[in-house]
Amino acid sequence: MPEVPAPPAEVTYLDAIREAMRAEMAADPDVFLIGEDVGVFGGAFKVSKGLIDEFGPERVVDVPIAESGFTGLAGGAALCGLRPIVEFQFADFITCAYDQIVNNLSRHHWRTGDKVPVVLRAPYAARLRAGPFHSQSIEAYFAHTPGLKIVAPSTPDDAYGLLRSAVRDDNPVLYLENRWLYRRAKVPRLSGEAVPIGRAKVVREGTAVTVVTYGPCIVEATEAAEALAAEGISVEVVDVRTLVPLDVGTITASVKKTSRALVLHEDSRRFGYGAEIASVIGEECFWHLDRPVARIGAKDIPVPASMALEDAMLPSTAQVAAALRALATT
């Protein structure tokens, strides 16, 4: 097996994604990256910077702006035994490949038994002042599709570990990477371990109330938990990490312990993925709940281009803290 270069001393969320791709490409010659400007330019956000120098243009493939075309190509390559990683410059553009993902990639194994190992990397969500066409959260579009796994890491270690697991999985995996976290989330070094798909993580222990979240909202959840700790309110924070399949056991164990739950995400509240989590909690934990399950999501409007309006539409630490305080004290 080819030697994998050591990761840098300080590793960002963005670095972790690159290191995971590098490690899988070095370990398996069937793994390749395909997308717009992923090669010479190094990707729109420089996630794939340097990979073309290591693996060449046959494995780091620049393609025209044609999401439906290169996603279909990746599906065909997977059926021929390769393991493609598809990069969409922005998650918003993935809708151009909706037919390939929903009608082909996700259903082909059920119809034929063939393996379809395609990873779909989608930089998603808001906070970067990119307006309504480059800031969407897309998880709810695809979570309803059987046959497609969905992961949404919030830390560098999870970004690294979930991507390695996604590449090795024989099913299509939608890998939601958060652009706002690219250079904000950092660790001194990576754990270097693959993270199993389908396992949530309790990132902060608590006893009074549970907040269930994923992706960028892990920041607001942990900040709110720290603020409430000073008031004597103990908040447990659960990072879902994998949306499909959902780790119901970890979530319900936490809620049964605290008897109160808040579901938090950045996507629009109406029909957002948090509604599914809240429903599961209601079904599985009904006799343990002291309060109805609460939900916080973005306002049901397109992401504004205005900085002030974008901030106003998204969940804030103060809003999360207020909701948790109300749940814990009433």
* Whether residue 288 lies in the annotated active site: no
Strand pairing of 31-35 and 149-151?
Answer: unpaired
Domain end position, chosen among 145, 164, 187: 187
Q: What pLDDT band is residue 6 in, cutting at 50, 70 and 90?
A: low
Model pLDDT, residue 2: 46
- Write down the catalytic residue from 134, 144, 265, 288: 134
Going from the C-alpha of 98 to that of each of 26, 72, 107, 141, 275, the distances in angstroms are 30, 10, 13, 9, 23
Model pLDDT, residue 330: 86
How many Cβ atoms are within 10 Å of 213's Cβ, its own excluded? 28
Q: What is the mean pLDDT of residues 213-240?
A: 98
Q: What pLDDT band is residue 1 in, cutting at 50, 70 and 90?
A: very low
User: What's the N-to-C CA distance of the chain in angstroms?
Assistant: 58
Going from the C-alpha of 267 to that of each of 49, 78, 169, 245, 273, the distances in angstroms are 29, 31, 26, 19, 8
Residues 21 and 150 in one domain: yes
Tokens of 156: 């560098």
Domain end position, chosen among 137, 152, 187: 187
pLDDT tens digits along 311-320? 999 999 999 9
- Which helix H or strand E contains 199, and what residues bound it? none
Domain end position, chosen among 124, 156, 187: 187
Residues 58 and 160 in one domain: yes
Q: Residue 88 falls within a domain, yes or no?
A: yes
Model pLDDT, residue 9: 63
Q: What is the mean pLDDT of residues 15-30?
A: 98
Lowest-pLDDT range of 95-99, 186-190, 225-229: 186-190
Going from the C-alpha of 179 to that of each of 176, 264, 268, 295, the distances in angstroms are 9, 18, 18, 24
Range 296-310 burial, b when 16+ CB lie within 10 A, else e:
bbbeeeebbeeeeeb
Q: Residue 4 falls within a domain, yes or no?
A: no
Model pLDDT, residue 10: 87
Rounded to whole angstroms, how far apart are CA atoms 200 and 177?
17
pLDDT tens digits along 238-288? 999 999 999 999 999 999 999 999 999 999 999 999 999 999 999 999 999
Residues 171 and 319 in one domain: no
